[in-house]
Structure 1
């Protein structure tokens, strides 16, 4: 009886999976029946995709800056925090972006990046006084760079 119950559950799951796979095909049929029109500001679907991409990237950028300012705002004035963020080099920005892409791209990448961050954090905590001084010195230099540009 347990095997019949298990088979029934498996059949239901397979049917659900088939419905999920066939959903895009149904969407294409509905699109064809709708005269080929997509909903969006432009009748061109490529333009709508560009608009959506720009909107998402802009929203992400605004949210990232807000989080960065709030993290720095705990220890620095808003003016100095803004200078610090403005003073980052292009190579730092590209490195952080590349690490984020590796972390998001795959599970092994996420494990490697998060593992490296954990090791760095533990290393910094083991020599907290020196790490705090080095970090403050680096941020002070970044703030100087941000004020001059």
Structure 2
């Protein structure tokens, strides 16, 4: 019994029938998808960063902090994200580094509070 081709499915030769994709060339469709996904991801990332920082800083200061990121910082963030997405070991390294940074920041904050409390008690 011969199989019938359904519309929109690829034939044995790799040529596709009718398609809802913007271009008949698959490479062009991949490029379009990549541009759209990167653009949407970038917009989402900026909105998320501003939302996270705005709770801690005023709007103008948060905007300058996000938009004023230097080249070294951008390359470091890009490198860390690539390392984290390529392997479980890379993810563990990046997550461990972030956890260490969080603990370091909390320790600095607690130390500053202790010093302020101690300094305030000695003035009384």
Q: 1:53 aligned to 2:28?
A: no
Aligned to 2:16: 36
- Distance in 2 of aligned mates of 1:123 and 1:93: 22
Residue equivalent to 1:83? 64
Q: CA deviation at 1:36?
A: 2.0
Where in structure 1 are there 5+ consecutive unaligned residues? 1-29, 132-149
Which runs of 5 or more residues in structure 2 are unaligned? 1-8, 113-124
Give 1:6's aligned residue. Answer: none
- Of 93, 97, 100 in structure 2, the residue corresponding to residue 112 of structure 1 is 93
Alignment size in residue pairs: 102
So what's the TM-score if we normalise by structure 2?
A: 0.74
Aligned with 2:16: secondary structure? Answer: coil
Runs ≥4 residues deviating over 3 A? none
Residue 127 of structure 1 aligns to a residue in which SS?
Answer: helix
2:45 corresponds to which of 64, 76, 85: 64
> Which of the pair has the greater relative contact order for Cα pairs under 8 Å at 6+ separation?
1
- CA-based RMSD of the aligned residues comes to 2.0
Q: Which has the higher helix share?
A: 1
